[in-house]
Amino acid sequence: MNRKVYLDHNASTPVHPEVVAAMLPYFSEHFGNPSSVHGFGREAREGLETAREQVAHFLRVGKEEIVFTSGGTESDNMAIKGVAMGRRRGHLITSKIEHHAVLRAVQNLETLGFEATYLDVDGDGLVDPEAVRRAIRPETILISIMHANSEIGTIQPAREIGAVAREHGIPFHVDAVQTLGKAPIDLDAFNIDMLSFSAHKIYGPKGVAGLYIRKGTKMVSVQHGGEHERRRRAGTENVPGIVGLGRAVEIRGRDMADEAVRLTALRDRLWEGIRGRVPDVRLNGHPTRRLPGTCNICFRHVESESIVLGLDLKGVGVSAGSACTSGNVEPSYVLVAMGVPVEWSMGAVRHSLGRSTTAEDIDYVVESTAPLVAKLRSAMPARA
Amino acid sequence: MQYSPALIDHFRNPRNAGIMRNPDGVGEGEYKDCMDLVRFHLRVRDGRVVEARFQAYGCGPTIAAASAATEVATGCALEALVELSAARVEAAVGGLPEPRRHAAEVAALGLRAAARDALSRADTRSDRHA
């Protein structure tokens, strides 16, 4: 019987048992609509506001600055379109390696007459704060740079970029879906005006997320309806989910520091193990300035989906850096932006570790990967 | 993506992987959009394939389809092999999900090319002996 090893925590995480326990009463017991005036509604409202306090406490911000949404994608869209629609025209700065929720929101604004600059990154996936400064125009209305990229885990110099944004009085949005509760973020020190985060990346439920909006940030609502979330996001709140998000964030506050140390050691054990057993491999992303649990490795001249399938058959869940859809393979746009040659980027595999990952799991993955890659390479034709 | 047990078996235990000394026919199938490349080597006796070997670069289904294609080819007359359809290869791996259909196409393309090469070499030999 194969071991089961889940190394795809950047895609999603199992809900923490303490989070499940916190959520359960809000399905059938405290089921009221938090906007209702009666006691049933007040019980639900209490859960909602407790969660808001938990998140605000973790971020060290005011609870009125937290808006709950349905996911990281909605949070990103709300931040970017909310600022842009309030201005009606202008220029936005982002990077080439943002999540599609940011990239496509900005591209959508371009079709409406807004202008955008997509900044390059270096070979480690870092945005240069001076490049941000050079891209600023008099009409720039927003800078949106992620905190860490989901594929490679490189952590951006948010503090330095935030300083540039503040110097020019431009709102700074940070997609922190991959970093909240994994790496320290100081909203004041980094001059962050809006921060997107999500529950299911930190052992909370899917379909619930949040956006921090610094008091005084000028933006409009992009979803219209009722008076929910201080008129910033219409729609009845997902109370059990939000309660889960609040508890998940609280647990991260308790566990984050110790887990970061443990996962960094395991992440490096994985890379050292693979590097020692498999020739022609490279690590993608910054060698040290990287999420504790993220290890993206290119296996030269091997197709990443064949590795993912081979490891899946050994009970290991990882994700492919290149995606083959309808017979057309696209190497990862993140790796392309970093200048990784195609014969490498086609063989990119992301391993993302989490709270259940053990040293034995890592050793098993290394032991499973080495013969698999050797077998795939042995059947590989030399290209003319 | 859900794959058939036959496909998983061919991927896990590829049949006839590798190259062949002095083959009677060699052919390649390439699918540039996907960067897939499959190469076949054939041993032929009396107009029939007696041994087929493959090399493949591609996703799991492509490796499995190439492996299954060598079994389809073995015992097959060259005249029949030049008409090999992708559907025949797909059937040999128990079907393919729509986004992976190209795996059967690239394998069939490579085997047809190898069969044509073997036929042309046979023609050349008979011309020499005429």
Of B14, B31, B37, the CB nearest to A381: B37
Task: From the options 3.40.605.10, 3.30.1050.10, 3.30.70.250, 3.40.640.10, give the CATH code of A17-252.
Answer: 3.40.640.10
In this structure, what token pair is assigned to residue A90? 């202008």
Q: Do A306 and B3 touch (CB under 8 A)?
A: no
Q: Are A185 and A36 in contact (CB under 8 A)?
A: no
Q: Do B60 and A305 touch (CB under 8 A)?
A: yes
Could you confirm whether A298 is annotated as catalytic? no
The Cα A34–Cα A25 span in angstroms is 14
Strand partners, A175: A196
Q: Are A193 and A142 in contact (CB under 8 A)?
A: no
Strand partners, A92: A116, A142
A349 by DSSP, 3-state: which?
strand
Q: Which domains does chain B have, with CATH numbers?
A: 5-123 (3.90.1010.10)
- Looking at the complex, does the CB of residue B56 fall below 8 Å from at least one CB of chain A? yes
Of B18, B39, B59, the CB nearest to A324: B59
> Which residue in A173, A202, A161, A160 sits closest to A293, CA to CA?
A202
The Cα A352–Cα A267 span in angstroms is 8
The Cα A197–Cα A243 span in angstroms is 15
- Looking at the complex, does the CB of residue B91 fall below 8 Å from at least one CB of chain A? no
The Cα A36–Cα B24 span in angstroms is 81
Q: What is the pLDDT along chain A (384 residues), one digit of tens a residue?
A: 579 999 999 999 999 999 999 999 999 999 999 999 999 999 999 999 999 999 999 999 999 999 999 999 999 999 999 999 999 899 999 999 999 999 999 999 999 999 999 999 999 999 999 999 999 999 999 999 999 999 999 999 999 999 999 999 999 999 999 999 999 999 999 999 999 999 999 999 999 999 999 999 999 999 999 989 988 999 999 999 999 999 999 999 999 999 999 999 999 999 999 999 999 999 999 999 999 999 999 999 898 989 999 999 999 999 987 665 555 567 899 999 999 998 899 899 999 999 999 999 999 999 999 999 999 998 877 655
Between the CA atoms of A88, A94, A96 and A98, what dihedral angle is there, to the nearest 10 degrees? -100
The active-site residue, picked from A324, A342, A359, A380, is A324
* Distance of residue A299 Cα from the nearest chain B Cα, in angstroms: 13
In this structure, what token pair is assigned to residue A21? 């326990």
Taking an 8 Å Cβ-Cβ cutoff, which residues of chain A contact chain B?
301, 303, 305-306, 308-310, 313, 324-329, 342, 346, 375-376, 378-381, 383
Residue A151 DSSP symbol: T
The residue assigned the tokens 């941000």 is: A132
- Confidence bin at B33 (pLDDT 50/70/90): confident
The Cα A204–Cα A189 span in angstroms is 27
How big is the CA angle at A256 (ends A254 and A260), to the nearest 5 degrees? 150
Of A306, A329, A346, the CB nearest to B60: A306
Nearest chain B alpha carbon to A304: B59
Q: Do A327 and B99 touch (CB under 8 A)?
A: yes
- Confidence bin at B117 (pLDDT 50/70/90): very high
The residue assigned the tokens 């090469």 is: B117
What's residue B36's pLDDT? 87
What's residue A82's pLDDT? 97
Residues 6 or more apart whose CB falls under 8 angstroms from that of A251 comprise A16, A18, A19, A203
Q: Does domain A5-12+255-372 have CATH number 3.90.1150.10?
A: yes
Of B33, B39, B58, the CB nearest to A303: B58
* Distance of residue A362 Cα from the nearest chain B Cα, in angstroms: 22
For an interface test with A, give the residue of B63, B67, B109 to mutate (most A CBs within 10 A). Answer: B63
pTM across the whole model: 0.90
What's residue A330's pLDDT? 73
Query: What ranges do the domains of chain A cover?
Result: 5-12+255-372, 17-252
In this structure, what token pair is assigned to residue A319? 């994700």
Q: Do A379 and B58 touch (CB under 8 A)?
A: no
What's residue B130's pLDDT? 55
